[in-house]
Amino acid sequence: MSHWACDSIFYHIYPLGLCGAPERNDFTTASVPRLEQLYTWPAHLKSLGVTAVYLGPVFESSAHGYDTADYYRVDRRLGDNVTLRELVSVLRREGLRVILDGVFNHVGRDFWAFRDVRERREQSAYGSWFQGLTFGQTSPYHDPFMYEGWNGHYSLVKLNLQHPEVKRHLLQAVEMWIREFEIDGLRLDVADCLDLGFQQELAAVCRDIRSDFWLMGEVIHGDYRRWVNAETLDSVTNYECYKGLYSSHVDRNYFEIAYALNRQFGPGGLYRGLPLYNFADNHDVNRVASNLTNPAHLYPLYCLLFTMPGVPSIYYGSEWGLEGIRTAASDQMLRPSLSLSTLPQTAAQRDLVNAIARFAQVRQRSAALRYGDYQQLLVNHEQLAFARQFENEWAIVLINAADRPAPFDVTLPIAGAQQLIDVLNAEEIFQIVRNHVRVEVWPHWARILVAR
C-alpha cells in the first residue's frame, strides 16, 4: 500500500506573506489571528485538485519565520496556538492534509536561549547549545563572542544538534505539534545541512506517534538517496528537475528535462520508486512565470509537473501566473499578500487555473501517473513523449511547447492494445497501427493517452 503522500497534490502557502503580516515581530503586540484568512481557501484548493497543504513557518520568529524565537508558540503576527489548531481542523474537515515547516538547523538571534547567552554571556547555561560559540572574539553583531551562522548569515544561529538538551527541546516541540495540532507531516528546512543523526532520531519519534507521518527535506544538491531511505526521510525537494522545468522551455531545449527525468526515473534511474517533491517555484526562488520568456509555456510546464514521477506541488498564487523576482536584498516579491476575492479577476493567466485543475484530475484518476515507471519515447527541442506504467495500466504523455501544432509518431511499448483514448482532451480516440500512434498536439499543450 502506497503512502498517502504519493496520492497527494500539495499547495504551498507562506503564511506570513499571504496573510499580510508585518515584516518584523516586535514581541510585544498582542496576537493577531491572521491565519483565519485561510478559512476561505479550501474551496479554491479543492477545485484545483489539491489534497494537502504545506504551511511555511508559523512559529514565533523575528522576521521571515526561519529565524525561530520559540518552537512552542505560534507567531503572534499569525495568531496563537488555538488559531493554528482551529485552522488545521478546518483544513482537515475539508479533506486536506497539513504539513508544517520544521526549522531545526538554526534559530534567530531572538531565540530565548540565545538571548540568555547575549545577556548573561559566560554565565549562561546555554552557550553549548550553539555551534562554534566561543568567547574572546566579536561577532558581526558586536557580541563579545563568536558563533556559527547558517551559510554566513549571522542572523541565523546554528544549533548544536549533538547536544542532548537541544535535541530534547526540538523533539518535544515536534511531539507537541503532532499531538496538539494534528499535523500530517513536516518539511525540514535545509535538510542537506541538517545533522543526519538528528534526522533519524526525528523520524523515529514522529513515526512512533504516527506511522504514516510524512517527512520531506529541503535538499538543493547531492544524492537524494542519502536522505530518502527507511531510517530518515520519505521525500526531498527535486531541485534538479525544478531547474529543468523552466529552462527547457526558455531555451527551447526539452533535451535538458528529458536528461534529468531519465537520470532520475528511467530504466536504471537513480531515484526509481522515490516519491520526490516536484515544484515549479517556491518561497525562495523566482516565480516560474517570471523565469519563462513565453507565458504560454506555463501550460506544457504544468502538464509535465503533474505527469512526471513524484509528488506535485503548487506555490500559492502561481496557478494564476503570478510573477515575482527575488532581489539581492529581499524575497518579499516572492511572498506577497493575496486576496482570493480579487485574484481571479486580475490574474495574468486566468485560464491556467482550469488547466491545472484538469491536469490534477487526470493524475488522480491514473495509477500509472501516480506510481508508474518512466520510459522516454521521443524527445525533440520542443516536443517530449514518455510512457508511465503501473501494473497493467499505461499512460502516454505527449507534450508540445512549440508555437505551432506538432505531429507525433510514437512507437509504443504496449502489447495488445488497439486504441488510445485522450483523457485530457474530450476522450478523443486514436488507433494503434503496428505499435505506432500518430497524433497531432496543439501548440503549448499536451495529450495524455491511456490504453483501453
The CATH number for 101's domain is: 3.20.20.80
Contact partners, residue 386, CB within 8 Å, separation at least 6: 261, 374, 375, 376, 377, 396, 397
Do residues 245 and 214 both lie within one domain?
yes
Do residues 269 and 407 both lie within one domain?
no
Half-sphere exposure of 320 (CA within 13 A, CB side): 18
Phi, psi of 267, deg, nearest 5:
-55, 125
Contact partners, residue 143, CB within 8 Å, separation at least 6: 118
Using the 8-state DSSP alphabet, how is residue 198 labeled?
H
Do residues 413 and 356 both lie within one domain?
no
Range of the domain at 426: 372-451
Of the three residues 310, 340, 367, the one that is the final residue of a domain is 367
Do residues 212 and 283 both lie within one domain?
yes
Beta strand pairing call for 311-315 and 277-279: parallel
Do residues 286 and 383 both lie within one domain?
no
Query: What pLDDT is recorded for position 347?
Result: 87
Tell me how far apart the alpha carbons of residues 320 and 288 are, in angstroms, rounded to a whole number. 11
pLDDT of the chain along its 452 residues, tens only? 579 999 999 999 999 999 999 999 999 999 999 999 999 999 999 999 999 999 999 999 999 999 999 999 999 999 999 999 999 999 999 999 999 999 999 999 999 999 999 999 999 999 999 999 999 999 999 999 999 999 999 999 999 999 999 999 999 999 999 999 999 999 999 999 999 999 999 999 999 999 999 999 999 999 999 999 999 999 999 999 999 999 999 999 999 999 999 999 999 999 999 999 999 999 999 999 999 999 999 999 999 999 999 999 999 999 999 999 998 888 989 999 999 988 888 888 989 999 999 999 999 999 999 999 999 999 999 999 999 999 999 999 999 999 999 999 999 999 888 999 999 999 999 999 999 999 999 999 999 999 97
| Whole-Å CA distances, 296 to 189, 276, 289 | 32, 26, 10
Residue with cell 519565520: 65
Single-letter amino acid, residue 383: Q
- 421: domain CATH number is 2.60.40.1180
Query: What pLDDT is recorded for position 330?
Result: 86
DSSP lists the bridge partners of residue 186 as 100, 215
What is the domain count for the chain? 2
Tell me how far apart the alpha carbons of residues 61 and 74 are, in angstroms, rounded to a whole number. 9
Do residues 341 and 438 both lie within one domain?
no
Do residues 55 and 92 both lie within one domain?
yes
Tell me how far apart the alpha carbons of residues 17 and 74 are, in angstroms, rounded to a whole number. 15
Single-letter amino acid, residue 364: Q
Do residues 98 and 224 both lie within one domain?
yes
Of the three residues 342, 367, 392, the one that is the final residue of a domain is 367
Do residues 335 and 363 both lie within one domain?
yes
Do residues 264 and 413 both lie within one domain?
no
Residue with cell 501517473: 369
Contact indicator for 300, 248 with CB cutoff of 8 Å = no
Query: What predicted TM-score, i.e. pTM, was given to this entire model?
Result: 0.97
- Cell triple for 67: 529565524
Of the three residues 334, 351, 367, the one that is the final residue of a domain is 367
Contact indicator for 134, 143 with CB cutoff of 8 Å = no
DSSP output for 300-344: HHHHHHHHSSSEEEEETTGGGT------SS--GGGS----TTTHH
Query: What pLDDT is recorded for position 50?
Result: 98
Rounded to a whole number of angstroms, the CA Rg of the chain reads 23
Tell me how far apart the alpha carbons of residues 233 and 189 are, in angstroms, rounded to a whole number. 12
Do residues 26 and 107 both lie within one domain?
yes
Do residues 183 and 292 both lie within one domain?
yes
